[in-house]
A and B are shown apart, each in its own frame.
Chain A
Amino acid sequence: MARTLVDKIWDAHRVARRADGRDVVYVDRHVLHELHGPHALERLVETGRAVRRPDLTFGVLDHTSPTSDRSEVARVSAESPLMREMRSGAERFGFRLFDVDDDEAGIAHVVAPELGLVLPGATHACPDSHACTVGALGALAFGCGTSDLEHVLATQTLAIKKPRPMRIRLDGTLTSGVSAKDVALHLIARLGVGGASGFAVEFTGMLVDALSIEQRFTLCNMAVEMGARTAIVAPDERAIAWLRERPYAPAGATWDRAAAAWAGLRSDSGAVFERDLDVDCTDLAPQVSWGTNPSLTVGVDGRVPDPADAPAAERGALERALAYMGVTPGTALQSLAIDRVFIGSCTNARLEDLERAAQIVRGKHVAPSVRAIVVPGSLAVKRAAEARGIDTVFRAAGFEWHETGCSLCVGANGDLGSAGQRFLSTSNRNFESRQGPGVRTHLASPETAAATALRGFIADPRLVVTR
């Protein structure tokens, strides 16, 4: 019978079927972070269990790491109970922790692939809903809660049910200044935040084929914002080339054999998807969210919608979003003044994201009313950007250039705005108070963030002349 890509990886990793109907699915790589790790590690100690495969387990310190400067990183790192418990857990159970001053420091979903800890056809778990990011390399990735984190640590498996199959085929080409983030926001606006609930989404189509691996990460990252359990892209030559010689990628004959198998790893032509969606992205405008969930998004040249035009059942929520965001129906997005711009997060803080934004700000200056910050997704990204002079471009334009971490995406490190401030952010969630109590978040791409920082108002990156 014809199988989907997810079926194939699932079947290859299904160890058993439990009495409660869940499949025991082997986890090839597991990355935990300090926000949820300590709780699960403590539970292991309490129950007398060990980490079953410390050699396949890795820890990061990303959510609460300060990003302002190295001395602050050192201070918090020494004092933070969460970080200290991750260190003692790593020592006790024997897994590798990428500490804040290690070369491998950074955000879980950025660090894992760049180290080659994500492989096509492999399974991946991380106690974070954006684990789906790494599906871009053809891995089957699952985010999970703390109980499941403990389960993976103790058994090296997840006990889960297979998500339903959904395919989103993306065609067309993107105009200059438009990128994967815009595609993702557009899809979420179309499907709604629960539109792919319970599904594993496979992204296919000519547009996906043409996207760089870094943009595929962005696309898969945002799939959870339409409710998807996970997202995946079949591995192609570009994915395989991207992984070659990464520090933890296989080498020698093992690489050759694995790469040959990956090249044929795709959904069978007759595979049945429960839902199929075709979207042509030709002429897609840069997308900007106006409300308090990622589906409340319009084109950058659009206006805030009128709840009166929506179905009656949705009006209350829309009115609530309008009130929180301090906008009125009909307001042009480009008339909204922005207080802070954040370029960062597991969605949009890879080298290519920073390069595209830097190209827009080069030789220009941030509007005086704006505080703009760049937070690289990993220490490796930061160093690579510095080697190329990208930090200098941002600094000269008036941006702050920060240390790596999740930072303003979730504010767990104290990077937060104050009530009433309006942010334009390349992160993934514009929920109420996500970036600080009362902060109004507009989600957009790095290109739109860069153009907005220059103008001081939400801006269309297609209109900024780049050299």
Chain B
Amino acid sequence: MKPFEAVEGVAVALIEDNVDTDAIAPLDVGRRPDYARMLFRRRREAERGSPAGFVLDRPEYAHARILVAGANFGCGSSRESAVWALAAFGIRCVVARSFAESFRLNCLRNGLLPVVLAPDDGAALERLVVAAAGTRTFGADLRSQQVTAPDGSAFRFDIDAHERQALLEGLDDIGLTLRFLPEIEAWEKSTRESAPQLQVLAKRPA
């Protein structure tokens, strides 16, 4: 997995609650879809005619690296394409009022930093991001656990120590688990005795 240490760049605000993954990454059944194009595709198309257009379509946010979002961001479908689409667009960090858990886990699996700030700090950051209007540089640093704004203010965030380590080192998730292969095999062996229906599967004759 791609490690994450820090990111600096334009921050974009999409302060809406319950943004679902169908909206973030509309379904595309093509085998190798263009994930950057997929990001909020329907919203972008629907708002193309409006005076300002969808926020991610505005030129000042074309190189956004940090997305500032509302509550329960990424709810609905567990599709990982929601994270792939954000990453393909260039987003490396999402600061949300809260996350849907499956989306947050998918972020961690893909080297994208999910951040939840204390409510007051979050509100302050939202105001600063809106005021900057894509012209200033924000930062998110996992080493120091801080989100920084161009006026010098810094907002500390909490993250599970283990999740932090996994992101910083870009640990191979499957590799981490396979260190326990002997334990997995031992579990299978003992379960074959204690609850054979779990380990031995046979289809009965029709």
Contact = CB atoms under 8 A, between A and B. Distances in A.
Interface of A: 12-13, 15-16, 18-22, 24, 26, 28, 35-36, 38, 47, 49, 55-56, 63-64, 81-82, 85, 119, 121-122, 127-129, 143-148, 150-151, 154-157, 159-160, 163, 193-194, 197-198, 225, 227, 229, 245, 247-251, 254-255, 258, 261, 293, 314, 316-317, 320, 410-412, 429, 431-434, 437
Interface range on chain B (Cβ under 8 Å from partner): 35 or more
Given A18-B176, A19-B176, A250-B197, A431 B109 contact: no
A49 B200 CA distance: 23
Interface stretch (B60-68, B150-158, B165-173): B165-173
A138 B79 CA distance: 25
A156 B122 CA distance: 39
B201 A55 contact: yes
B42 A194 contact: no
Given A251-B204, A432-B23, A193 B198 contact: no
Please indicate which of the listed interface residues A82, A85, A129, A429 has the most CB atoms of chain B within 10 Å of its own CB: A129
Contacts of B23: 431-432
B206 interface: yes
A432 B195 contact: no
A230 to B, nearest CB: 10
B22 A433 contact: yes
A467 to B, nearest CB: 36
A26 B203 contact: no
Nearest to B205: A247
A363 to B, nearest CB: 36
Please indicate which of the listed interface residues B80, B180, B188, B197 has the most CB atoms of chain A within 10 Å of its own CB: B197
Interface of B: 16-18, 20, 22-23, 26-27, 29, 31, 42, 45, 71-72, 75-80, 83, 98, 100-102, 105-106, 109-110, 160-163, 165-166, 171, 173-174, 176-181, 183-184, 187-188, 191, 195-204, 206
A121 B195 contact: yes
Contact of B75 (A81, A82, A146, A194): A194
16 contacts: A18-B162, A20-B166, A20-B176, A22-B162, A85-B31, A143-B78, A144-B78, A145-B105, A154-B178, A194-B18, A194-B75, A320-B16, A429-B22, A432-B42, A433-B22, A433-B26
Contacts of A320: 16
Given A254-B196, A432-B42, A145 B79 contact: yes
Given A122-B198, A433-B26, A19 B162 contact: yes
A254 B101 CA distance: 37
Please indicate which of the listed interface residues B163, B179, B198 has the most CB atoms of chain A within 10 Å of its own CB: B198
